[in-house]
Each structure stands twice: as C-alpha cells, then as structure tokens.
C-alpha cells in the first residue's frame, strides 16, 4: 500500500485537499455564506490521512520521525495542527476555524513542497538509536502545531473583537465564535503548548546533560526562548495583564517568531550530529 505512491506524492495529495478546503471556504465566504462545517471537516480529514501516509512513508525511509529538514518540519507542524483541529473542531463547532486551519495547512504543506531547497537533503537516522531524543523532537514540533492553532484562534479572536468594536456584526463576521469561546480556547491552547514544549525540553535536557557537545548553544537558546516567551504570555494572561487585542496579537506574533526560529535551529544542528545525509536527485 505504502509503495503505491512516493512520500512526496502522498503529501502533494494532502496539500491538494487542504487547498480544496481553502478554495471551498473562500467561495462560501465570497458568496456571503458560512463554509459548511461538515465539508471542511471531511476535506481536512482526508488531507490529514493522506499526510499521515506521506509522513509514514518518509518516516520509514529515514528510519524515524521525519524531522530531518525544513520540508519535514513544516509538514510535521501542519500535521500536528490538523491533529489538534480534528480533536478541537468537533467541540468548537466553528467552520471558520476549519477554514483557517485549511489555509494554514495548505500554506505550510504546499510551500514546503514547492521550495526544492527545503527537501534537498534528507537525513536518515538523525536520532541515532535514542527513542527519547526522537520523542523530544516530535513533541517539540507537536507543540509548534498547538501554537499554530493558537495563532489561528488568535486571528479569529482579533476579527471578533474588531467586528464588535467597529459595530460590524453582519456578513461573515456573523460566523465567528463568541469572544469568550475564542478567549477560552486560546488560553487552553496556550497552556497545552507551554506544557508540551516544557516536557520536550525536560526530555531533551536529560540527553543534553550527558552530552553537551551534541546540541548547539544557539539551538538551545532559541528553543528555550520560544518556551520562555510563551510561558511569560501565559503568566500575563492568567494575571489579567495580557487580554483582548494584545492577547490576540501575541498569539500570532509569537507563532511567527517560533516558525522563523526553526530555520536557524535546523541549520545549526546539521553539523552537530552524525546523521546520514542523502542528496535527493529527482523530486516530483
């Protein structure tokens, strides 16, 4: 079954589904209607399953969780965000969240597929035989998925605040969830993201204390900074110091910063372990 398509073909198919969700949602909004929640959910689920297949094939090929280059990191982050959406989306019942998730997933998956440099070098067995390091990396990336969904929720939150403050509640603003719902889901995602990243850092630090040279200081500083930044945001939110518009903007800006930090982190670790580098010759 796995051999039917290559990993990138599976991932292209997944990207096509996410793009379909984006197009269907956009058309609904242009027509002044609400994107169908069931359709969005079905399209995203189909994309998710195809992406799971693609990541499975890639993981099989590289001998572990596929987190060896920017392409894989983008794919895994999108997949993590979708995983959460599929869980949250059922209770949240916002087709707009599905639409925004589809937009983000399409952007992450298709951009990584379209940029050949992202996947120019595959690195196999990057975690050696240490499952803890693989676990550390996987849940660190999973927390980025949580933060991605937080950024989307924050965008919806800002739009809802804008609609109420500017007294424009008609049109597609009427499809937005309430202020309280968005605030609560944002807070829960922030708590979850901070906790998951904390677990990842704890697991990683155990390995690092046994082998200081294995992790670059730059990567360590950047990753810890991301966690500290989100933790500070959480503390401020719980104290009522970071609310409303500022909370929304922080959710978006921190994710952009976290995403941008993946590049230098990925680059810095290329020379810091003994992974097998495989130059790809031809990619679809």
Instruction: Give the binding site for other proteins (CB under 8 A).
Output: 32, 160, 163-165, 167, 169-170, 174, 176-181, 183, 237, 240-241, 243-246
Helix (H, G, I), strand (E, B) or coil at 19: helix
Q: What are the φ/ψ torsions at residue 123 (nearest 5 degrees)?
A: -120, 120
Check residue 265 and report its DSSP letter: H
Q: How far is the CB of 95 from other proteins (least distance, A)?
A: 16
Residues 216-249 as b or e (16 or more Cβ within 10 Å = b): beebbebbeebbebbbebbeebeeeebeeeebbe
Biggest alpha carbon distance in the chain? 59
Task: Please identify, using beta-carbon distances, which residue of 119 and 183 lies nearer to other proteins.
Answer: 183
Q: How far is the CB of 22 from other proteins (least distance, A)?
A: 24
Task: Please identify, using beta-carbon distances, which residue of 5 and 164 lies nearer to other proteins.
Answer: 164
Task: Please identify, using beta-carbon distances, which residue of 129 and 239 lies nearer to other proteins.
Answer: 239
Task: Please identify, using beta-carbon distances, which residue of 167 and 279 lies nearer to other proteins.
Answer: 167
Q: How far is the CB of 261 from other proteins (least distance, A)?
A: 29
Task: Please identify, using beta-carbon distances, which residue of 169 and 280 lies nearer to other proteins.
Answer: 169
Q: Which residues contact 144 (CB under 8 A, 6 or more apart)?
A: 77, 80, 258, 259, 262
Q: Establish how many alpha carbons lie within 13 A of residue 20's alpha carbon, considering only the half-sphere containing its beta carbon.
A: 17
Q: How far is the CB of 179 from other proteins (least distance, A)?
A: 5
Task: Please identify, using beta-carbon distances, which residue of 60 and 93 lies nearer to other proteins.
Answer: 93
Q: DSSP alpha helices (H): ranges in the chain?
A: 7-30, 37-62, 70-92, 95-114, 131-165, 179-210, 217-238, 244-269
Residues 164-187 as b or e (16 or more Cβ within 10 Å = b): eeeeeeeebeebbbeeebbbebbb
Q: How far is the CB of 253 from other proteins (least distance, A)?
A: 18
Q: How far is the CB of 243 from other proteins (least distance, A)?
A: 5
Q: How far is the CB of 240 from other proteins (least distance, A)?
A: 3
Task: Please identify, using beta-carbon distances, which residue of 181 and 266 lies nearer to other proteins.
Answer: 181
Q: Please answer whether residues 17 and 50 qualify as being in contact, where contact means their C-beta atoms are separated by less than 8 angstroms.
A: yes
């Amino acid at each position: 079954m796995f051999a039917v398509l290559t990993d990138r073909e599976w991932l292209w198919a997944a990207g096509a589904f996410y793009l379909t969700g984006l197009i269907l949602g956009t058309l609904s909004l242009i027509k002044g209607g609400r994107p169908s929640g069931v359709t969005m959910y079905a399209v995203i689920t189909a994309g998710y399953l195809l992406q799971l297949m693609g990541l499975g094939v890639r993981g099989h090929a590289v001998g572990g969780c596929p987190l060896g280059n920017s392409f894989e990191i983008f794919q895994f982050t999108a997949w993590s965000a979708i995983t959460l959406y599929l869980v949250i989306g059922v209770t949240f019942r916002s087709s707009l969240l599905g639409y925004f998730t589809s937009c983000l997933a399409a952007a992450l998956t298709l951009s990584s597929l379209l940029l050949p440099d992202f996947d120019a070098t595959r690195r196999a067995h990057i975690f050696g035989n240490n499952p803890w390091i693989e676990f550390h990396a996987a849940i660190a990336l999973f927390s980025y998925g949580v933060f991605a969904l937080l950024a989307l929720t924050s965008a919806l939150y800002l739009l809802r605040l804008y609609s109420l403050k500017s007294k424009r509640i008609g049109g597609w603003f009427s499809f937005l969830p309430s202020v309280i719902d968005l605030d609560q889901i944002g807070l829960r995602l922030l708590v979850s993201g901070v906790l998951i990243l904390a677990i990842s850092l704890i697991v990683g630090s155990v390995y690092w204390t046994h082998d200081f040279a294995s992790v670059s200081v730059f990567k360590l500083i950047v990753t810890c900074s991301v966690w500290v930044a989100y933790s500070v945001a959480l503390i401020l939110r719980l104290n009522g110091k970071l609310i409303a518009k500022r909370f929304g903007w922080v959710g978006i800006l921190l994710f952009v910063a976290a995403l941008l930090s993946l590049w230098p982190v990925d680059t810095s670790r290329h020379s810091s372990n003994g992974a097998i580098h495989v130059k790809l010759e031809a990619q679809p």
